Amino acid sequence: MDKKVRVRFAPSPTGFVHIGSLRTALYNYLFAEKMGGDFILRIEDTDRTRYVEGAIENLINSLHWAGIHYSEGVFIEDGKVVQKGDYGPYIQSERLDIYRKYVDQLIEEGKAYYCFCDKERLDRIREERQIKGLIPKYDGFCRNIPLDEAKKRVANGEPYVVRLKLPKDTDITFHDVVRGDITINTEDIDDQVLLKSDGFPTYHMAVVVDDHLMGITHIVRGEEWLPSTPKHVFLYEALGWEKPEYVHLPTVLNKDRKKLSKRQGDVSVEDFKDKGYLPEALNNYLALVGWSPEDNKEIFTMDELIKEFSFERVSKTGGIFDKDKLDWVNAQFLRNQDINVLREEASEELIKAGLITEDFAKNNKEYMEVLIDTLKDSISLMTELPEKAKFIFEELPLADETKEFLEGENAENAKVLANAIEEELSSVDEITLDYAKTFMKSIQKKTGIKGKNLYMPVRAMISFSVHGPEMDRILYLLGKEKIFKRLDKFK
């Protein structure tokens, strides 16, 4: 019987969550759900120089917002970071004794060694190799120091690191689900540092120990880790462990086919959340940046993504992150979202913009629903709503193309229509949607004015533009008092 699938997302707490990291988490989640497996969140914080306070909380909150759920690892409860599961601790800095045990084992078995070279020597060696056109790697100077002698130097307090002792001129082969079989010779790889001078393991040591002890069956991570994988494969063999399946994902690129970075704009989950993107839309779009479904379908629920997803259809080449396409996907989700959710989000944005009050939003549910239904097809993000709705709540300057229907030779026509509208509206207590639907026919009968000469001036006088939503919606949303006030200047 096959082993139960166990995958992990193991970021470093170095600040914001990059959109590429979210995609890695998403692919892990989709695969785990599809296979009925476990998805684990582990924190890799062995590089203490890059640790950012609050980054773990931000990471967990970002995953929670995105609807990417994991069953084991690091969580937030009552405002505190807690760990749940049978394979903890799930924070690497709390596992130092575990790593040390396996580092010592490798040293005793002659598969790792103490290295006493200082930074100046290492820099000089690398520079010399670069000048000669060689791979800038460690020259193995400390490889053959007898173990007893090395231990004495350590006992005397001499600074050291521990390095992996790779065999000379040996091919290391592994299979990657996306890229197939990959072979790299040890002459092209460094004797990797496993334990740093501060007593913390490097990523390479910690990740192999953690993945093995936590029963990880598939390692799904970015392709930037591909060159390190042979070292990891050798470590599995050196420790006598079965290696997992490897899946290296293509990089998320910008339109210039360069790695997406903060210098070019929004790249963190927080950025997209603050801009008003829906988590469902962001997940849907990110899934397609590097993976293609069997048909040309573009809009998926999370359940549909889980059903369709497979690593076999993940691309070998980087996926282009196209913000315009993301906006289109977000617009599709926005239009199909539950009206109660939309009303709440719309109210929040309009209140923030100072266009309505909380009381207004609470006491005018039907009005808010008509407003959203009227404008939702013209926006990609809920944060765009206030700008689109502004003409309803505030008087705006007339655009030049609008003025031509109201001034000069058209001024008399506008005056006739303004008076007719005022007379018609005076006969009703309020503008209902049903009444609004027949309103323009009534004005046509009163004035005999038709078509463009009717609709353009009326639209211009009450909404300040000759383009926009249906007239019946505009009439209902504006209401009698606002319309009267706007018509005054044209009578």
Q: State the binding site.
A: 262
Q: Contacts from 328-331 at CB under 8 Å and sequence distance 24+?
A: 328/380, 329/281, 329/284, 329/285, 329/298, 329/299, 330/277, 330/278, 330/281, 330/282, 330/285, 330/380, 330/381, 331/379, 331/380
Q: Which residue among 101, 255, 258, 262 is the active-site one?
A: 262
CA distances from 299 to 67, 68, 130, 138 (A): 17, 18, 49, 50
Q: In what order do the strands lie in the sheet with 180-185?
A: 180-185, 171-176, 245-249, 218-222
Amino acid at position 373, single letter:
D
Q: Is residue 355 within 8 Å of residue 290, measured between CB atoms?
A: no
H-assigned helices in 83-146: 96-108, 119-131
Q: Positive or negative CA dihedral for 354, 359, 363, 369?
A: positive
Rounded CA-CA distance 237/229 in Å is: 12
Residue 491 designated active-site? no
Rounded CA-CA distance 73/88 in Å is: 7
Rounded CA-CA distance 244/175 in Å is: 10
Q: What 3-state DSSP class applies to 396?
A: coil
What is the Cα 389 distance to its own chain's centre? 28
Q: State the binding site for ATP.
A: 262
Q: End-to-end distance of the chain based on CA atoms, in angstroms?
A: 84
Rounded CA-CA distance 48/148 in Å is: 31
Cross-strand partners of 459: none
Nearest to 213 by CA among 422, 374, 332, 40: 40
CA distances from 443 to 228, 385, 416, 446, 490 (A): 75, 30, 10, 5, 16
- Give catalytic residues, as residue numbers: 262
